Amino acid sequence: MDKKHPYRFRLWLREKLPWFLIDLGIAGKGKDCELANAEHRWYNIDNKASGCYYCKKIISGKKWK
């Protein structure tokens, strides 16, 4: 995990908290890493789209590779 990323604490919380708390809005994802001058960290959503661990951005393509 990037220790300098502005949304790193939210990601850490999402990894530790139960899902029902996350669904209530605690430790939600940031708006966009690019707006915070940070890089995205991609994961595979459905083998066709990529989502960022830190923010709400979803794009088509396999950026996680």
- For 1-10, how does the pLDDT look when each residue is reduced to its tens digit (9 = 90+)? 577 899 999 8
Distance CA(22)–CA(37), nearest Å, equals 25
Distance CA(63)–CA(41), nearest Å, equals 9
Q: What pTM was computed for the model?
A: 0.81
pLDDT recorded at residue 1: 55
pLDDT, tens digit, 9 for 90 and up, residues 9-50: 989 999 999 988 888 888 889 889 999 999 999 999 999 999
Q: What are phi and psi of 42, to 5 degrees?
A: -90, 150
The tally of CA atoms less than 13 A away on the side-chain side of residue 48 is: 1
User: Kind and range of the H or E element at 42?
Assistant: strand 42-44
